[in-house]
Structures are given as structure tokens and as C-alpha cells.
Amino acid sequence: MKLSWNATLNKLCKGYLNELENKLKKTRHLSDDMQALIKSFLSYVDYDGAKTDFTSELIDFANQHEIKDVAKLFDGELKALPLFLLGEEWTELWLLYMQAEAESPYTVGYGRRSMRSKRVDLHSNNIQSNLKAFLSLKATGFTPIQILRGGRTPEEIKEL
């Protein structure tokens, strides 16, 4: 599985992504819905793989469970998705980011919302892309502090 066209990033992330795929094959603690969503997401992030409609599946899940507010989307059963993909530390960071996303009055880019709203369907593309970004960061093996430092030690930063 490859996350990107960038060979260096793929090399950094390969071990973690393979570990996720193997873990998914062996896991028995996730519901069928969660396993299907995780498989769909992993298929979405695979640069060489077939693309799935993860956002539609996410919206369907929210509708089935009558979740309207994007800030509450990952409070219940769906929290297993980022926990499986990111682990505890990165999931907490991602959830903070997603709560801020729900409060954000404006977005930019092609998929921007046309109004201020916390509806899940209006945020689904941002959820997907932000989850991929956090997975990419987690998969590199760097800690959040290392990432904030640009992969440099304090001594290297002083030399800049």
C-alpha cells in the first residue's frame, strides 16, 4: 500500500500501513460496520488501489445512527475507526482538530461548505482528507514534537 506518489513518504509509512492491514485481518473486537469502514478508508488512501466512496459510507453510518452534529460523530461506536488507524495519542489530537473543524465558520477549497453548519454531510470530505493527513503523520513514526520541529533536533534548529 502506498499513500502518495512520494517514494520517501511511502518508504517511511510502509511498515505502519502493512501493520494496519495485518491487524485488520486478525482483529475480532471490531463490529462488521467498523471493519467495513476501515477497509473502505484504507482502500481510499491506497495510492495504487481502487477508490471507494468512504464519505458516502460515513454519511450513511451517521444517518443510520441519527448523528447530525459532526463534533459528536466520533463520540460513540465510530471512535473505533480513528483509534484503530491512529492509536490513542493521535486520535485525541485528531478529535480536537475535528471539533475545531465543526466550529470553524468558513472552509476553503473545492469542497468548502456553502453555509455555517455542523451537519455531517457538509464536513465529510474534510473528515476524509484530515484523517488521511493524520494517518500519514502517524505512519511516519515521528512524534508530534518531532513533526513540529521538522524532524530536527534542537541543535539542528539553532544552526538554521
Dump pLDDT digits (tens) for 109-125.
565 555 567 777 777 77
Q: Scan for cell 478508508, then name that residue.
A: 41
Residues 6+ apart with CB under 8 A from 5: 47
**Residue 26 predicted with pLDDT over 70:** yes
Alpha-carbon distance 84 to 78, whole Å?
A: 10
> Of 74, 63, 78, which Cα lies nearest the Cα of 98?
74
Alpha-carbon distance 35 to 30, whole Å?
A: 6
Mean residue pLDDT across the chain: 80
- This prediction has a pTM of 0.78
SS3 69: strand
Alpha-carbon distance 77 to 157, whole Å?
A: 42
pLDDT band for 139, please (50, 70, 90 cuts): confident
SS3 108: coil
Q: What is the pLDDT of residues 30-83, one digit of tens each?
A: 888 888 888 888 888 876 666 678 888 888 988 998 888 877 788 888 889 899
Q: pLDDT value at position 107?
A: 58
Per the CB < 8 A criterion, the answer to whether 134 and 84 are in contact is no
- Cα R_g (the chain), whole angstroms: 17
pLDDT band for 84, please (50, 70, 90 cuts): very high
Q: pLDDT value at position 151?
A: 67
Q: Scan for cell 491487524, then name that residue.
A: 23
Q: pLDDT value at position 154?
A: 73
**Residue 94 predicted with pLDDT over 60:** yes
